[in-house]
A and B are shown apart, each in its own frame.
Chain A
Amino acid sequence: MVSIVDYGAGNLRSVINAVVKLGYQPKLAVTAEDVLEAGALILPGVGAAAHTMHSLKRLGLDSAISRYIAEGRPFLGICIGLQVLFSSTEEGGGHDCLGIVPGVVKRLPDNLKIPHMGWNQVKQKIEHPIFNGVPDGANFYFVHSYYVEPDDRALVAGETEYGITICSVLIRDNLVATQFHPEKSGEAGLKIYDNFIRMAQQDKP
């Protein structure tokens, strides 16, 4: 069962539309129980990480998501859904995040147009089923002002150039997270969702 965390994220509708387009009937995870019952969990996100953290805490979803991921279950984080996995973010003067992935979230250098907005290439650093049918260097749609820096560089599965090299796909076991928005990235983006859901289905005992 595919579940999408509903904490009021701005891109919730688009993520639902993408999953439905692929022929699945996603469930909305609004409580901690919903999160823990998921077979495949998607955490959407757009906007500010601090706002997302606040919403997740208020709804009691933060510890459920941490537990779900700690159990090694299939998880896909999108944009802010990637950033909140980290220890902390520089955004809004500094905020603690979920602390699931050691590392920090930093602001893009000021000499660039911010946000990094538009289609940019993702260089695949590892072979992984999430990239099945997605050409190396395919374009995805980005819109963000902060980027993640995991302490463990081996987690960087995809990289993108925007003045600096940023981690655009992070993978640790069954945890996959993208800085770009696959639900806004045409056929290549739909493929990412499809691959993730297939991975989750194969993961079933």
Chain B
Amino acid sequence: MLTKRIIPCLDVKDGRVVKGKSFINLRDAGDPVALAKTYYEEGADELVFLDITATPEGRDTMVGVVERISQEVFMPLTVGGGLRKIDDMRRMLLAGADKISINTAAVLNPGLIREGADRFGSQCIVVAIDARRVKGDSQLRWQVYTHSGQKPSDLDAIEWAKEAVALGAGELLLTSMDADGHRAGYDNELNRAISEAVGVPVIASGGAGIPEDLYQALVSGRADAVLAASIFHYEEYSIDNIKSYLERRGIPIRR
């Protein structure tokens, strides 16, 4: 039986791991290679790196980081952040990344999804969606944001998810902007709405504070994988703690 994946996320800036509350107030949490190795040894199922450096020098640093990690860590690696061109994707894949996550670039140029999928295969293309609840609407819906959550787009999250998959996305990385950084649980209405709308795996992200939150994202949110950052980084819970907890609650987990 396919197991549910537990995915630590490392936000990397200038070669260092940082993670903040609701995308601001970043705090240093370590060396990416050392952290990646620790997660690998602890039994993480996959790793996601978001490069939040927006400069070309930062990009070069990230390529080197991915190269070093892929020599030590034998599990799937997803890299995202500022990758706007096929050549950017190719560089990361050649460095040892398995999947490329695109967010703003996909919204601005949806053709990039198709181009990437044709070139490298759908399994390589993760479309990351940052969504925020639309307030004051009679019907529950979510709006897509770009530029690290700074800019609202005119896209509806569910419609955009369907379009991204139709264009060739092999997986969706869904972040609730309302929940992200607050550590009070994922937005499982969002997770469920998207997971039921598409036929590809969905990674739920944003809001994990306690192991129960991950359980709910997998069960109520029907996510195929859960992504979390700070819950792991500050050693409040180890991967093993969380996996044991989920296993006790009947979730299929890799041990």
Q: A residues bordering B, Cβ < 8 Å? A: 10-11, 13-14, 17-18, 20-21, 46-48, 51, 110, 113-121, 139, 141-145, 161-162, 183-187, 189-190
| Closest Cβ–Cβ distance, residue B253 to chain A (whole Å) | 9
Known: A119-B5, A144-B123. 4 other contacts (CB 8 A): A141-B76, A162-B2, A185-B75, A186-B74
Q: B residues bordering A, Cβ < 8 Å? A: 1-5, 40, 45, 70-71, 74-76, 93-96, 98, 120-124, 170-171, 199-201, 224-225, 254-255
- Residues on B with C-beta less than 8 A from A142 are 2
A47 and B199 within 8 A (CB):
no
B1 and A117 within 8 A (CB):
no
A186 and B40 within 8 A (CB):
yes
A184 and B75 within 8 A (CB):
yes
| Interface of B: prevailing SS | loop
Nearest-CB residue, chain B, relative to A51: B121
A189 and B74 within 8 A (CB):
yes
Alpha-carbon distance between A119 and B253 when the two chains are bound, in angstroms: 9
Alpha-carbon distance between A8 and B94 when the two chains are bound, in angstroms: 10
B124 and A185 within 8 A (CB):
no
Residue from the set B123, B199, B201, B225 with the largest chain A CB neighbour count within 10 Å = B123
Alpha-carbon distance between A102 and B118 when the two chains are bound, in angstroms: 28
B201 and A11 within 8 A (CB):
no
Alpha-carbon distance between A14 and B40 when the two chains are bound, in angstroms: 15
Contact among A21, A117, A139, A162 with B170 in the assembled complex (CB-CB below 8 Å)? A117
- Residues on A with C-beta less than 8 A from B123 are 46-47, 115, 117, 143-145
A183 and B224 within 8 A (CB):
no
Nearest-CB residue, chain B, relative to A119: B254
B74 and A47 within 8 A (CB):
no
Contact among B70, B122, B254 with A17 in the assembled complex (CB-CB below 8 Å)? B70
A119 and B200 within 8 A (CB):
no
B75 and A186 within 8 A (CB):
yes
Top-8 shortest CB links A-B: A47-B121, A119-B254, A139-B254, A13-B96, A143-B123, A120-B2, A119-B3, A117-B201
- Residues on B with C-beta less than 8 A from A162 are 1-2
Knowing A10-B120, A48-B121, A119-B45, the reply to whether A184 touches B171 (Cβ < 8 A) is no
Contact among A21, A46, A139 with B74 in the assembled complex (CB-CB below 8 Å)? A21
B74 and A118 within 8 A (CB):
no
Listed by A's residue number, 16 A-B pairs whose Cβ atoms lie within 8 Å are A11-B98, A13-B94, A13-B96, A17-B96, A46-B123, A115-B170, A115-B200, A115-B201, A117-B224, A118-B2, A139-B255, A141-B76, A145-B123, A162-B1, A184-B75, A186-B75
- Residues on A with C-beta less than 8 A from B200 are 113-115
Residue from the set B76, B93, B95 with the largest chain A CB neighbour count within 10 Å = B76
- Residues on B with C-beta less than 8 A from A10 are 93, 98, 120-121, 124
Nearest-CB residue, chain B, relative to A144: B123
B224 and A118 within 8 A (CB):
yes
Alpha-carbon distance between A119 and B124 when the two chains are bound, in angstroms: 16
Nearest-CB residue, chain B, relative to A18: B74
- Residues on A with C-beta less than 8 A from B74 are 14, 17-18, 21, 183-187, 189-190
- Residues on B with C-beta less than 8 A from A145 are 122-123
Residue from the set B71, B98, B171 with the largest chain A CB neighbour count within 10 Å = B98
| Closest Cβ–Cβ distance, residue A180 to chain B (whole Å) | 11
